[in-house]
Structure 1
Amino acid sequence: MSIRRGHLAAWGWAALAGAVSGGLFIAVAEIVALLAAREADPLIAVGSFVIDIVPRWAKELAIELFGSNDKLFLLSSLGVAVFVAAAVAGLLELWRRWVGFALFLVAGVLAVAATVTRADASPLAFLPSALGALAGAATLRFLVEALRRWRNALDGERPIAAAVDRRRFLLLTGAGAALAVLAGVGSRLGSAATSSIAAVRSALRLPAPASRVLVPAGAELHLPDLSPLFTPNADFYRVDTALTVPSVDPSGWRLTVDGMVESRVELTFHDLLAMGLREYAITLTCVSNQVGGNLVGNARWLGVPVREVLARARPRHGADMVLSRSVDGFTASTPLTALTDPGRDAILAVGMNGEPLPLEHGFPVRMVVPGLYGYVSATKWLTELKVTTFAADQAYWTPRGYSPQAPIKLSSRIDTPRIDRPLSAGPTKIAGVAWAQTVGIQKVEVQIDGGAWQEATLAAAVNADTWVQWSLDWNATTGSHTLAVRATDRAGRLQEERRTPIAPNGSTGWQSTLVRVG
């Protein structure tokens, strides 16, 4: 190997040393987090910080492109960024001693800052990032010094010494990489082994509800590709700010009701169940749902009316908002009237479709409020209800460009036929769902190729808070066709035709879709 080629190769080996050191940084931090501060994983903390500061357009784009996989994309991107930055630190350390080392320490300080400022940070939250950064920095220093000795031996044209130093560097780098992999895998296995919340949920038996949802005959049309009346838990959309699902043990769960109240209230999970569960059928919609989108689902919920919990605290005159808080710090602003209205089934839910809430849907307790988008009502992993005013408090999404109040828009959707599914000429069904929560759907109309609007057949409605299925007979002819849909609610209001974006309080517009008939 010539000196020039040796120098070029050294830069590549320095980048590898940096990447290995970065892997060790993350792996050690995860091990320490597992042992001392489970909430203090640096990747999760930095990812949560990114979610907090990301501009609205980027958040909307991520949900549009990746849907429920947006968090996986973010974590993957952060992982790649860590290894790229660590590789750069390796190059800088070879260029000048202590520069890459210092870069690792700076990264550690930033990770510590992101970790200790989280809402659920413990007194030891600084420890994982701090020890991980020290381990990564020390490894980088050690590996690059070994590389420098190898390069110096090449420069001095001492082939035997160069061979020895090369072997030493490769062994040390391989050992560091193996240690990083073992520590990373060990932390993941240890986390899975020590996480008992899934087992607690599986063993939990909720009391039988005092009342159940009555589903009328004809509420389910049973058509191929049409969304079922009740969305299975595994298919129910998930959009929230939690990069990892919080682990909340029901035995230690507490709900605090305070703020502008006559009496501060604290409830345990047992206290909540003792109030008596009832079953409700309610459709949930995310504000990020585009026209014709799938960020909407319908479920049977077991829970307790929020108004009964608030009644124990006795809100004071002048309060007009309840700021609900999740264990991970997320907050939502819900009008007090929406939670105390006896005609609206706003609940604290503990069950979903006949089983305890899934972990990713808020176990053990979440809010479900019909007629309001999730970001102002559907707080998961609930821990606090603060009775306050819109003038005094802001929720998580309000300073990020979203309205503090957000009633769900009257909407309709075509589920079938679809442009990506083959359709044969002849009699078929155009079908979908429509919703107008707290009011109900009066009619759904379909337009084919810009012709006259035709009224679809509605399935029987479960209640005004759930979506309703609809269908229209169509004799499909060969070629391309444009289908459009619109709905009218029971108050006589027609769905808004004009397209608007999801910000600041939900999209509007009639869905139009192209289908091809073969």
Structure 2
Amino acid sequence: MLLGLGAGGLVAAIAARAFSPLVVVGSAVIDLTPGAMKEAVIRVFGHGDKAFLFVVLAVVIAVLAVLAGVLEVRRPWLGRAIVLAGAALGVAAALSRADATPLAALPAAVTGVVGAWALAFLVRRMPPAEPLRAQTAPSRRSFLSWSVGAAALGLVATLGGQLATRAASAAANARAAFRLPRPAASAPPVPAAASLDVPGITPVITPNAKFYRTDVELVIPQLDPEQWSLRVHGMVEHPFTLSWAELNELPMEEHYITLACVSNEVGGPLISTAKWLGYPVRLLLERAGVTGDADMVYSESFDGYTAATPLDAMTDPDRAALLAIGMNGEPLPFARGFPARLVVPGLYGYVSATKWVVDLKVTRFADEQGYWVTQGWAEKAPVKQSSRIDVPRPGRTITAGHQWIAGVAWQQHVGISKVEVQVDDGPWHEAELARAVNADTWVQWRWGWNATPGDHQLRVRATNADGVQQTSGVSDVLPDGATGWHTTEVTVA
């Protein structure tokens, strides 16, 4: 099995980089997994959800390999049938992808053929069940040598395929050489008053490497920008296709925007802020000329992932909905959507933040559903107001006396006007609010606490710019975002 997977990986590196057998099968598993189960995995493993899936796949493959070996010894061809059946599933998974190419099925097919051949080859070299003593040592030694050699060759081929894929990536070279165009409208600088001097508080701007990531991709896609284009069509008068060169000639805008994942639990980490550079989506839609009773923009990633965004959020001149190409002063990282992605403030990412976007279709909610909506999530998903305690960390022991209780609060495209803190079941105290970068970003807060010895429970709640207080009602992330007051425990010594 290792030899088969190694051969398939090498073929993928040479002829079909996006269709490594493990990747296409893993992606199919993700697509077929119910939404509630996906959410459970994300909740338990967080950013390690992809690694968890690879571990599960490795265990399943190991079990099938053992079963195939045992059956092949007892009934020739039965074990090879299992290997070839697994390869057939890989071929079907590859061909079912939206980005399938004529060579998409080749890596999985090679995996099956090489794996089946290696299985038959090794079984023929197994020593007899009860050999004579004189025959045992050389026969067994030969079989083990062939087996170890096949496994080693498979591992080398697997690693070689991965290295070849990275080294041969035209996308990586293109991104390294790309320089962001100068913005026609620059974002105002982040005011000094936006950051509070509290060790451990979440920074106002999230470094690219630490920006949260949730998507259905097992391996981060690397698209060559020269091959990228964006199709704008559907209920429009003038459909068109935008090339990478044409996009970079358009007047770009910079905006600081906080993005949040609907899977973020109360107090969770799946939220980040960056400075985005891009072209307003509303201007693309104006160029196309929206017609009829359209109420939604159906965006699609290069691999068929889809999201459904309310049309009014995309066309609102007061909302910075962008086709983004830059993040914090550099080209989008591959993991964040290079060469282009959508950024729409005030909506959870699953309905607005399509990465590696290649298609915008103007349509209606009555006619189309995005990927996660088919998995049980809500059709429309405005970000809910929330707040989080960053300092002190939960479960930490701190010293008595003056201590900061601090964190961040948000409701993108609405803004936060007040944050309050409660210790145990005492009165609510209004915290000091930092200056917000804008209404589309989170805001820092802090409150000075005279901590007394003992175990304490800390709570936080926010009030938005419209005067609406954050609800205390607890709800799960399904179907449209978690609610409740973030509560944490701390010991004062």
Provide the residue aligned with 1:12 in structure 2. none
* Contact 2:282–2:321 (CA under 8 A) maintained in structure 1: yes
TM-score normalised over the length of structure 1: 0.93
Q: CA-to-partner distance for each residue in 1:142-178, whole Å, 9 max, x for gaps?
A: 111221xx12451xxx322333322321222122122
2:77 to 98, 112, 131: 98
Hey, what's the Cα distance between the residues in 2 that align with 1:427 and 1:255?
55
After superposition, where does 1:36-185 map in structure 2 within 5 Å?
A: 36-147=15-126, 150-152=127-129, 154=131, 158-185=132-159
Shift of 1:72: 1.4
Provide the residue aligned with 1:23 in structure 2. 2
* Contact 1:45–1:115 (CA under 8 A) maintained in structure 2: yes
* Contact 2:14–2:165 (CA under 8 A) maintained in structure 1: no
Q: CA-to-partner distance for each residue in 1:101-146, whole Å, 9 max, x for gaps?
A: 1111111111111111111111111111111101101111111122
Provide the residue aligned with 2:332 in structure 1. 357
Hey, what's the Cα distance between the residues in 2 that align with 1:95 and 1:425?
72
* Contact 1:119–1:328 (CA under 8 A) maintained in structure 2: yes
* Secondary structure, counterpart of 2:125 in structure 1: helix
* Secondary structure, counterpart of 1:497 in structure 2: coil
Root-mean-square deviation (CA, aligned residues, Å) is: 1.2
Provide the residue aligned with 1:315 in structure 2. 290
Provide the residue aligned with 1:388 in structure 2. 363
Q: CA-to-partner distance for each residue in 1:204-246, whole Å, 9 max, x for gaps?
A: 1111212222223411113111001101111110000111111
* Secondary structure, counterpart of 1:213 in structure 2: coil
Provide the residue aligned with 2:266 in structure 1. 291
After superposition, where does 1:148-227 map in structure 2 within 5 Å?
A: 150-152=127-129, 154=131, 158-214=132-188, 215-227=190-202
Provide the residue aligned with 1:423 in structure 2. 398
1:404 to 366, 379, 382: 379
Letter in 2 for 1:177: A
Shift of 1:92: 1.1
Hey, what's the Cα distance between the residues in 2 that align with 1:252 and 1:398?
30
* Secondary structure, counterpart of 1:273 in structure 2: helix
Structure 1 residues 292, 152: CA separation in 2 closer, same or farther (over 3 Å shift)? Answer: closer
* Contact 2:277–2:324 (CA under 8 A) maintained in structure 1: yes
In structure 1, stretches of 5+ residues that fail to align are 1-21
Provide the residue aligned with 2:305 in structure 1. 330
* Contact 2:395–2:489 (CA under 8 A) maintained in structure 1: no
- What percent identity do the matched residue pairs reach? 51
Q: CA-to-partner distance for each residue in 1:246-279, whole Å, 9 max, x for gaps?
A: 1111222100001111111111122112111111
* Contact 1:288–1:506 (CA under 8 A) maintained in structure 2: yes
* Contact 1:153–1:161 (CA under 8 A) maintained in structure 2: no
Shift of 1:190: 1.2
After superposition, where does 1:449-464 map in structure 2 within 5 Å?
A: 449-464=424-439
Hey, what's the Cα distance between the residues in 2 that align with 1:219 and 1:385?
35
**How many residues are aligned here?**
492
In structure 2, stretches of 5+ residues that fail to align are none
Letter in 2 for 1:73: F
**Which region of structure 1 is more displaced relative to structure 2, 467-476 or 30-39?**
30-39
1:466 to 441, 450, 455: 441
- Give the greater-gyration-radius structure (CA): 1
Hey, what's the Cα distance between the residues in 2 that align with 1:301 and 1:77?
36
Letter in 1 for 2:81: A
Residue 274, structure 1, aligned to residue 274, structure 2? no
